[in-house]
Amino acid sequence: MSENVLKVAGLTVAYGGIKAVKGIDLEVNRGELVALIGANGAGKTTTLKAITGTLPPCKVDGTVTYMGASLKGDQSFHLVEKKLAMVPEGRGVFTRMSIQENLMMGAYTRDDKAGIEADIAKWYDVFPRLKERAQQMAGTLSGGEQQMLAMARALMSHPKLLLLDEPSMGLSPIMVDKIFEVIRNVSAEGITILLVEQNAKLALQAAHRGYVMDSGLITMTGNAQDMLVDPRVKAAYLGE
Ligand code: ATP
């Protein structure tokens, strides 16, 4: 039996009088990589913000259940303690800290010093550019380098659920390939992932299941491989 890590039910978000998310249901099971795709303005980022409680509660309705308990009212530092990590659009690294310090901050809920050092070494192996710049301020990194750092920092917390918002945005094709290789590897290690992506093809190729969001509604869901060959998905989101 699959086990829910995340379950969203009847989620609604209104900005003023405008509903950006209109009562959606979505779930992510243990070990799954789930892609949430859709056009600009569909409500994908708003959905992630509602899950992580970064929107004022008065705007949000519905339930968000993580590991069997409601997430409502949790502050972001509680989420890290609960092993829920988010890499937001625009990355959100600590710009005035070095790369090394950012990685250490990612592990602040852990106390296994040797394990933390081993993980930092592992991420420096995966992203040699970060190793070369270990003492450089994160704010001076390029967009692609910040994306690598944000991903590595999130994974330093050993999350049970990783939320990724548009990891390919603004990256060169080579960097996009690299980031997706890392996402696939992290998923293969068993970490549960909800991936929001504009690049529907890459996202569905990596994912087990997918959801299509359009104008605040989930309009389609299914096995990612089936969605990749679905004529409606192909026409609207894969440019085929
Ligand atoms: P993209 O792929 O372009 O990032 P998205 O699917 O993530 O799009 P959202 O960012 O969730 O879309 O936006 C959904 C809708 O809500 C859009 O129409 C957007 O203009 C609106 N919106 C988002 N944030 C706010 C805000 N703070 N105030 C008012 N409207 C907002």
Q: How far is the CA of 121 from the centre of ligand 1 (A)?
A: 37
Q: Which residues pair with residue 64 across a beta bridge?
A: 8
Cα gap 207→199, rounded to integer Å: 12
The pLDDT value recorded for residue 185 is 95
Of all protein residues, whose CA lies closest to atom 3 belonging to ligand 1?
Answer: 40
Which ligand 1 atom sits closest to the C-alpha of 21?
A: 14
CATH numbers and ranges of domains, the chain: 4-237 (3.40.50.300)
Of all protein residues, whose CA lies closest to atom 16 belonging to ligand 1?
Answer: 20
Q: Is 11 in the pocket of ligand 1 (CB under 6 A)?
A: no
Which ligand 1 atom sits closest to the C-alpha of 43?
A: 11
Substitution site in 15, 164, 218 for ligand 1 pocket (most atoms within 8 Å of beta carbon): 15
Q: Is 216 in the pocket of ligand 1 (CB under 6 A)?
A: no
Q: Is 57 in the pocket of ligand 1 (CB under 6 A)?
A: no
Q: How far is the CA of 45 from the centre of ligand 1 (A)?
A: 7
The pLDDT value recorded for residue 95 is 92
Q: How far is the CA of 43 from the centre of ligand 1 (A)?
A: 6
Per-residue pLDDT tens for 29-47?
Answer: 999 999 999 988 999 999 9
Q: For residue 238, name the pLDDT band (cuts at 50, 70, 90).
A: confident
Q: Is 198 in the pocket of ligand 1 (CB under 6 A)?
A: yes
Cα gap 91→166, rounded to integer Å: 9
Q: Is 42 in the pocket of ligand 1 (CB under 6 A)?
A: yes
Please check whether residue 5 is in contact with residue 30, taking contact to mean a CB–CB distance below 8 angstroms: yes
Pull the structure tokens for residue 126. Answer: 């995966």
Residue 133: what residue type?
R
Mean pLDDT of 128-133: 92
Cα gap 183→87, rounded to integer Å: 12
The pLDDT value recorded for residue 144 is 85
Instruction: Output the pTM of the full model.
Output: 0.93
Please check whether residue 180 is in contact with residue 173, taking contact to mean a CB–CB distance below 8 angstroms: no
The pLDDT value recorded for residue 22 is 97
Q: Is 44 in the pocket of ligand 1 (CB under 6 A)?
A: yes
Q: What are phi and psi of 68, to 5 degrees?
A: 85, 0
Per-residue pLDDT tens for 72-82?
Answer: 766 666 787 88
**Shortest CA distance to 204 belongs to which of 176, 240, 180?**
180
